[in-house]
Structure 1
Amino acid sequence: MLDPLVGLGPLRFGMSPPEVRAALGGAVAGVTQGREGDERWQRFSEEGVTAVYGPGPRLAAVAVHGMTGPMVRMGDVELIDRVPSQARADLLALADRQGAEARVNWSGDLEVAAWGVSMGATQEQVLSSEGYLQRGDRVRTDALFVASQLADDPYGTEPVIAWRDVRDESANPGAWPVRALEDRPSWGWIPLQSVGPLRFGMTPQLVVAALDGEAPSVRRGHFPWPVYGKSGQWYLTEDQFGGAGVTAHYWYEEGIPALGAVTVHGRTGPQLAFDGLDLIGRTVSEIDAALERRSENDEFGLIIGCGGDLGPDGLGMYVRAARAGDTVISEARFCAEEWEDHG
């Protein structure tokens, strides 16, 4: 049960890391950020929760993972591992009965400050007929639960920012429109060389020109020494083009940004094909199965990206998943030969 702004299950906000471990039955954190006595966050993989600590350190927030975490209930509403639209409807009805204000958070999911609840979603993992986990085609709810001092802006407040910084993410208004397949232009691609009109090695100016002069709708980068703030050269890492439905990713060659990878967006991007297989805006499991069948026939080897993305070995292409409401659809990232993809 959730005790809003106080805790959930055996966890109480304000607990120390040893108290959190004891409350979880002596659980061992699989990942810890920060040194002992000054932990910033801890991921308990078997329990399916992440504990986020504020000064002290003291427990300030708990993230419950959608596929592996405990079931959490607010009133008579189950929050975890549900179809997002159904959970949203139930939570809106509960908020209305209690007179609590509900809003949309950065990911397009429901957030209620009075309860310290910020909902989210994660792609489901399903068992294959051979008994191993593989990507599914739906998303299931997860959630972040916070203490009172974080409730007004959970993802915009420390210490949550130190755990998951979403300030540079494109805010979702709560809708996931998908361009019809027949309305998408068709692009070709040459492995390790080009994607449609975009050639690896292009400068940002040439990328804009190749996209008919479209200005980036989102531009992301970083300074070299975050601890010193905005000092030194600003490094451009990616340009997102909403009209074209692609993101250009840059690396630096001799101090100049050069195109190293292109992500074609699943909901809005152009269509591309691999050996007759359309890659964009499709059912993810269908494409994964097709790639697996071809690899089993020794047509090519398969590689798995850091996010579980499948791709033909040696071609610098990964089939990714983009959320579309309660489901996911396929998108793809195309990379230059030396590009190291980190998700």
Structure 2
Amino acid sequence: MASDVQGPGAQEPGGQGPGMEATRPVWALDPLEGVGPLRFGMRAEDVASALPDAHEPGRFEAEPHWPEILGIRFGFRPALPAVYAYFDGTGRLFCAAADAAHGPQVVLDGLELTGRPPALLQDAVHDLPWPEGSGVRYGPRGNPAVPAVGLVLRVQQTTGGVLTRPVLVGRGRADRCADDSEGRVPQCEWLGRQWPYPDCPAVLPPPDHEPVWPRGWRPPF
């Protein structure tokens, strides 16, 4: 998954390395409401309008069990996705993910969340001044999340190494967003390279396991 992003927002260095963007647009995370120019609850045409320079490399089924969940890739070079937008059965945006190599630099309280080494970002997220009773939670497979702001931290294999890929959800999906068994984040976002965590698999599904998905569904990336 890769793209060259030249969308809305200020430019600054980030993710510089083999196959990485020298500059990225900076998208502020507005917890539970949206990120950058995107607002949760938008329809697909609204998202396209908010990203006027973007191409749409393709659409896909994001869930093996819920075919009504639509995923759309948006990118700023043909066939190179930068942002993955997910729409529920009513056609409303409820989740978005930034490509680790070339997606926008998502920023929360000054902390850059995209394209970072996972160990460094994990420590930095823990150090943020979260309100009492909130903060980082870990899902069954060790993926960290902050339900209070609708943030899940995933990783992605890039030519520059394993780097962070922020996945963001709106208010209605935030309470259990860390739990990869409850469908709060689309199933396709839980697959592939996993967050480094003791006794958890490095890749899901494991290389020696071929799952039988309903309806012949296949992971889109």
Distance 1:119 1:69, change over 3 A: same
Give the 4+ runs in structure 1 shifted more than 6 A. Answer: 169-173
**Residues 143-179 of structure 1: CA deviation (Å, up to 9, x unaligned):** 1100111113334326713x4465xx898782379xx
The answer to whether 1:45 aligns with 2:75 is yes
**Residues 140-219 of structure 1 mapped to structure 2, 5 A cutoff:** 140-154=163-177, 155=180, 156-157=182-183, 160-161=186-187, 163-164=188-189, 166=191, 174-175=197-198
* Aligned-residue RMSD, C-alpha: 3.3
The aligned counterpart of 2:154 is: 120
Aligned mates of 1:17, 1:151 — CA distance in 2: 21
Aligned mates of 1:52, 1:165 — CA distance in 2: 14
SS at match of 1:114: helix
Aligned mates of 2:170, 2:215 — CA distance in 1: 31
The answer to whether 1:31 aligns with 2:58 is yes
Q: Which amino acid aligns with 1:44?
A: F
Structure with the larger RCO, 1 or 2 (CA within 8 Å, 6+ apart): 2
Deviation at 1:24, TM superposition (A): 1.0
Q: Which amino acid aligns with 1:175?
A: P
- Residue of 103, 122, 125 corresponding to 1:69: 103
Distance 1:72 1:223, change over 3 A: closer
The answer to whether 1:15 aligns with 2:49 is no
The answer to whether 1:89 aligns with 2:123 is yes
Aligned mates of 1:224, 1:92 — CA distance in 2: 38
Distance 1:86 1:226, change over 3 A: same
Deviation at 1:103, TM superposition (A): 1.2
* Structure number, greater radius of gyration: 1
Q: TM-score, normalised by structure 2?
A: 0.65
**Residues 86-108 of structure 1: CA deviation (Å, up to 9, x unaligned):** 111111111x4433231123553
What percent identity do the matched residue pairs reach? Answer: 26
Q: TM-score, normalised by structure 1?
A: 0.44
- Alignment size in residue pairs: 171
Alignment gaps of 5+ in structure 1: 126-135, 178-217, 228-342
Aligned mates of 2:100, 2:148 — CA distance in 1: 22
Deviation at 1:12, TM superposition (A): 0.2
1:52–1:159 CA contact under 8 A, matched in 2:
no
**Residues 188-220 of structure 1: CA deviation (Å, up to 9, x unaligned):** xxxxxxxxxxxxxxxxxxxxxxxxxxxxxx976
